[in-house]
Chains A and B, each alone.
Chain A
Amino acid sequence: MTGSEENADTGAAAGRGGTALRVDDLAVVGHPSEVEIISGVSLTLERGHILGLVGESGSGKTTLGLSLLAHCKRATEVSHGTIEVSGNALTGLGEKEVRRLRGRAVAYIPQSPASALNPALRLRTQLTEALHEWDEQERGPRADRVREVLREVALPDDDAFLARYPHQLSGGQQQRVAIAMAFAGYPDVIVMDEPTTGLDVTTQAHVLQTIRSMTRDYGTAGVYISHDMAVVADLADDIAVMYKGEVVERGAAARVLAEPEHPYTRRLLRAVPLLRTEGHPEPEELPEAPVLELSGVQAGYGRTIVLRDIDLEVRRGECVALLGESGSGKTTLSRSVAGLHTQFSGGMVFDGEVLARSSYRRTPEQRRRVQYIFQNPYEALNPRKRVRELILAPYTHLAGKPKDPDAVVARALERAALPASYAARYPEQLSGGERQRVSIARAISTSPDLLICDEITSALDVSVQAEIVELLRNLQDGGMALLFVTHNIALVSNIAQKVAVLNKGEIVEHGHVGEVMARPRHGYTRALIADTPDFELSLPPSDADLQAPEAAGQ
């Protein structure tokens, strides 16, 4: 249905046409609660097409993706519906028959290549394993096929490379090996579960390019699971939007992006940060001294130096973004400012006073005024404490015992846009976005002057990310200075006034956001901007659907 509408424009694949995948009224339930994790899902997909399956975490994307492989996670099972791959029903088959079909009819590219490849096996062994149903009589030796598929994903095919172990490859190479494994057996359908999430933008661009050309050349139908609308807009022919276990909208990509029908789709689209904004009004340089001033900071671990000659200033009410890919040293820098990383030299002045290296050597007042928010909200809150305690304990430690503790907690929660009743909850009763809000509430309860945000949205869905950014903007309007560490260039445009681009431990470009985005001077910045999937929103800017009450609760 969705695929047949635009069967014509896919070149090579069109010749091999036909439906590769048909899912009809599929439901998966979990035991022992009998909750329907996904329900009433119907999909069709043509050969050579890619279906983008989008939705936030917990919407059932992965469950659906795995069920296409006739695999269900522990304590779940397909309760209803059928899955057909090239006309063969997958549902109702025995374990042995399913195993024969995997890799040949359906293949899978997992989210994290590092954990998907067996660290104890050489690449040759792993790639050959993927050809377990390969008929050597008919199709030639397996070894030849392995080399061929490696060439196709633009990796070396020599013996030295085949003899390597996964840890000897970069993240992007590992993911391309995973792609090669999946495509090796000429599958009809390939399921990709957020295969670029852990990769930086440059590598992501390469991997997406590989996926695109491989599906076209092989006439394989691809199901690409992601929460990143920008990537899906770039890659997919069709889009299916999942929300609370159901497909709420599906259709050709161009149509869904231009004229979304379902309110949730619209909300998802609007949450995607735009790469190029007009830039914020350039604030005049105030004469007052900066809150934080770094000069010639050099930091490292043991003898390895990861940061060199860092000069940076953050003023009141200003947000400075620190942009860099993994390994650029951005977290080391932010942890040094927070007093968690002590192996650094150079000047670090906070409001006119030199900051000691370790947080334990700093004055209580300095510790109160510099607060840090962590990347992963699932690890930043002690799971054994209630929200009330999580906020009160640091508050009491830094600002003394409050006269009215409930008021302190309520005020902090309110500033983080959470209801006061959340004080009684434990972290596990909160969603990822809510946890991050609690982290923010904890950090701002003592009214700090400098807030360091270390990739605080990278573990969150796009829609939640937009809300957190909004929240930070409000805090900034209240006079708080922000040091916003991120690898997401699109976010920088949306929150920061100034940006410092960090490459291999050095700041290669520094200036106002509008200027850097519009006229990047350094080659590295230009490459970063070029590799980021650009996403132009064609929706009218305001819509009543934005008021959907579930937005914060997910």
Chain B
Amino acid sequence: MSTADTASGAAPAAPVRRPGLLRTAWRFHRTKIGVVLAGAVLLVAAAGPFLSPFSPTEGAGMPNSASAAGTLFGTDEVGRDVFSRFLHGGYTLVTIAVASALAGVAAGAVFGIVAGYLRNWADELIMRTNDMLLAFPQLVLALLLLSILGPKVWLIVAIIALSHANRVARVTREATLKVVEQDFVKSAEAIGVPRWRIMAAEILPNITSPLLVELGLRITYSVGTIATLSFLGMGLQPPQADWGLMINEGRTAITIQPWAVVLPVTAVAVLTIGANLITDGLSRASIGIDRGVEK
């Protein structure tokens, strides 16, 4: 019969797989633009320290001069080269942003999957604790802890990661609930696969799309929060070069030396817009907008 035919005969060529999330996202123009924008800023942050004409802390001329000799964008309020400080200032910001976003998404994913899958007292405990933390304004909490413990880099990462974890946990839990209802999870339960392995091997691979989207979003938010903390004086401390700090230091002299503010503001804005465009492309790809008819 027909069944035997397929079994014994040559198998038909496998139909083409639908391209993965990243490849689908790459088809959108917005994703490409986003990658170019964010990539440019990341390049400045990564390669900047090696290219800067001056040390970020050495004096290069008269303070607050927009056209000091030998400098591209003039000097800041204590006479340091604005361009060199700009090139040095992105590295820490980007590292802290990526580290805290990664840590936050990872922690949030663990909490969200556990809560969404187990659905028992663990769910209640995790989600209610989460609600409590969410009710506390993010920035106020950060300022409180930083003023008690002092502005340390690891503390900044931890605080921002924590505030991400709350929000990521909520999203992950919802995504998990959808997957948990599917029969392949029940199938694993029926043969007694340990719960932790069901979470790691059955559920996690099926919620990577929302997690990737979250990661993009969280990096963007981290950049904003870190810049804000630095501006408020609770982030990185002078004389370190940092974009948030530069905005704070340069704002008083903005009319005579605008570059000290314009450069870091532009960089932060471009990075944020770029990351958002990438995230937008990813989320469009994951929900299948504009997929069309393939095959």
Contact = CB atoms under 8 A, between A and B. Distances in A.
Interface string B154-190: 0000000000000000000000000000111011111
B5 A33 contact: no
Contact of A33 (B12, B182, B202, B292): B292
Interface stretch (A220-228, A236-244, A314-322, A381-389): A381-389
Interface in A247-264: none
B82 to A, nearest CB: 48
A428 B17 contact: yes
Interface string A437-476: 0010010000000000000000000000001001100000
A382 B7 contact: no
A70 B176 CA distance: 39
Contact of B183 (A359, A376, A422): A376
Contacts of A359: 189-192
8 contacts: A32-B292, A32-B293, A339-B189, A382-B206, A384-B205, A425-B14, A546-B2, A552-B6
Nearest to B205: A384
Given A338-B190, A383-B206, A397-B191, A35 B7 contact: no
B4 A429 contact: no
A379, A398, A470, A549: which has the most chain B beta carbons within 10 Å? A379
B190 A372 contact: yes
A417 B184 contact: no
B287 to A, nearest CB: 13
B3 A422 contact: no
A367 interface: yes
A7 interface: no
Contact of A418 (B7, B183, B202): B7
A352 interface: no
Contacts of B4: 417
Contacts of A420: 11
Contact of B182 (A35, A368, A379): A379
A376 B187 CA distance: 12
A186 interface: no
Contact of A31 (B16, B190, B205, B292): B292
Interface in B179-233: 182-184, 186-193, 201-202, 205-206
B9 interface: yes
Given A362-B192, A414-B7, A552-B3, 6 more contacts: A359-B192, A360-B189, A382-B202, A419-B6, A428-B17, A551-B5
Q: Which of B15, B190, B292 has the most CB of A within 10 A?
A: B190
Contacts of B290: 75
Interface in B1-31: 1-7, 9-12, 14-18
Interface of A: 30-33, 35, 37, 74-76, 338-340, 359-360, 362, 364, 367-368, 371-372, 374-376, 379-385, 393-394, 397-398, 414, 417-422, 424-426, 428-429, 439, 442, 467, 470-471, 546-553
Interface residues of B, number: 37
Contacts of B17: 426, 428-429
A33 B19 CA distance: 14
A467 B190 contact: no
B201 A393 contact: yes
A394 B192 CA distance: 9
Contacts of A398: 191
B191 A381 contact: no
B1 A546 contact: yes
Given A33-B292, A424-B14, A548 B6 contact: no
Contacts of A338: 190
The 5 A-B pairs with the shortest beta carbon distances in the complex, nearest first, are A30-B293, A551-B2, A419-B11, A75-B292, A384-B205
Contacts of A380: 182-184, 187
Contacts of B10: 419
A382 B184 contact: yes
A429 B14 CA distance: 7
A378 to B, nearest CB: 9
A420 B11 CA distance: 8
Nearest to A426: B17
B11 A421 contact: yes
B293 A31 contact: yes
A222 B14 CA distance: 38
Contacts of B291: 75
A394 B194 CA distance: 12
A428 B15 CA distance: 9
Contacts of B16: 429
Contact of A551 (B3, B12, B193, B292): B3
Nearest to A414: B7
Contact of A374 (B14, B183, B191, B201): B183
B23 to A, nearest CB: 14
Nearest to B8: A419
A75 B184 contact: no
A33 B193 contact: no
Nearest to B195: A360
A367 B190 CA distance: 7
Which of B5, B183, B193: most chain A CB closer than 10 A?
B183
A340 B189 contact: yes
A376 B192 CA distance: 21
Contacts of A376: 183
Contacts of A552: 2-3, 5-6
A338 B187 CA distance: 10
Contact of B1 (A360, A425, A470): A470
A383 B6 CA distance: 23
B198 to A, nearest CB: 10
Given A470-B1, A546-B2, A553-B6, A375 B192 contact: no
Interface string B27-54: 0000000000000000000000000000
A419 B290 CA distance: 34
Contacts of A33: 292-295
